Amino acid sequence: MKTIKGPAIFLAQFVGDDEPFNNLKNISSWASKLGYKGVQIPSWDNRLIDLDKAAESKDYCDDIKGILQENNIVISELSTHLQGQLVAVHPTYDIQFDGFAPDSVKNNPSKRQEWAVDQVNKAILASKNFGLTALATFSGALVWPFLYPWPQRPGGLVEEGFDELARRWLPILDNCEKSGIDLCYEIHPGEDLHDGVTFEMFLERVNNHSRCNILYDPSHYVLQHLNYLDHIDIYHEKIKMFHVKDAELNPTGKQGVYGGFQSWINRAGRFRSLGDGQVDFKSIFSKLSGYGFDGWAVLEWECCIKSAEQGAAEGAPFIANHIIDVTTKAFDDFADSGMDKETNKKLLGL
């Protein structure tokens, strides 16, 4: 067994133009004062990081690490959620997802995809320069609009979509292998990789690539009514990253998993701040620790009721109190009889 690292905090939902959220020095000082030991950095936000420089220069990465060290903070991982989303976009979402891309590639899906692939590859190199071992991302989606089988899906449609998704990601995964980086797909509604079955469909198509792994976030499983504890038992060898995020699903006679097109506050399924939802974090931390997960426990704040500032302040002690300092000995070692192999044979009548 190994002890989980943390607490850490994903900065994407906090970074902004106002102090202390406006640059890496200020926001890391803020996070440290709250009790966080690590920060997960969104690689697309140039207020925190210049991804081009990070991919090219270890010296630049060392400078970034130095800024963080002044505040007793380290980088847990980089994130490429937005860029990964753009690796595969169904035309239905072209206009909406153009908002994630620079002006130079908007209204040009092929150029946007090229840019996204380049961004993820740069984040792989940057992760190596930082001395990291894992990178977070989304898979993107080609078949998500066909999730519900009505109208009936044409035969082979899903298979063709997953074949293409794998074709786009396989060279990126190979680049991860060259740099020693595990690419961790957040299993998330809206992505083609949104549950265990779809992850396995993709994994098979990328030839069970060793660098194809999972970012585990139980909140997305709660909203799908998926057994998030069983998921750990099944996929623990592939879980290399962990977002600590809470959620609740309270179906009524009027709405259920799909939410009835309502705002977050009015949905049956809602993201909540840590401890305010239904996720059994004690069991999650126990299972992950038992399976030897030694990555970071990273707060991702997304709550429709509580403020980001309160969620962050409460999140650090919540995570710290759930991290298990794993035992290095068995509780009954004191009663070891010290018998040897020959004695065992005698006890068995051999």
Interval 315-319 mean pLDDT = 98
Task: Decide if 241 contacts 77 (C-beta within 8 A).
Answer: yes
Q: Say what percent of the chain tops pLDDT 70.
A: 99
Q: Which residue has the tokens 């992850």?
A: 199
209 — pLDDT class (breaks 50, 70, 90) = very high
* CA angle in degrees (0–180, nearest 5) for 148-149-155: 135
> 51-98, pLDDT tens digit by residue?
999 999 999 999 999 999 999 999 999 999 999 999 999 999 999 999
User: What pLDDT is stored for residue 347 in this prediction?
Assistant: 85
Q: Say what percent of the chain tops pLDDT 90.
A: 93
Which sequence spans correspond to the domains of the chain?
Answer: 5-347
327 — pLDDT class (breaks 50, 70, 90) = confident
Token readout for 344 is: 């065992």
Task: Decide if 6 contacts 298 (C-beta within 8 A).
Answer: yes
The CA distance from 186 to 167, in Å, is 19
Q: Where are the alpha helices (DSSP H) in 35-156?
A: 51-56, 58-69, 81-85, 94-97, 109-130
* Mean pLDDT over the full length of the chain: 96
- DSSP secondary structure letters along 231-279: HHHHHTTTEEEEEE-EEEE---SS--TTGGG--GGGSSEEEE-TTSSS-
Query: What is the pTM (predicted TM-score) of this model?
Result: 0.96
The one-letter amino acid at 166: A
* Phi, psi for 186 (deg, rounded to 5): -75, 120
**pLDDT at residue 334 is higher than 70:** no
> 138-188, pLDDT tens digit by residue?
999 999 999 999 999 999 999 999 999 999 999 999 999 999 999 999 999
**Superfamily assignment of 5-347 in CATH?**
Divalent-metal-dependent TIM barrel enzymes (3.20.20.150)
136: closest CA among 185, 89, 195?
A: 185
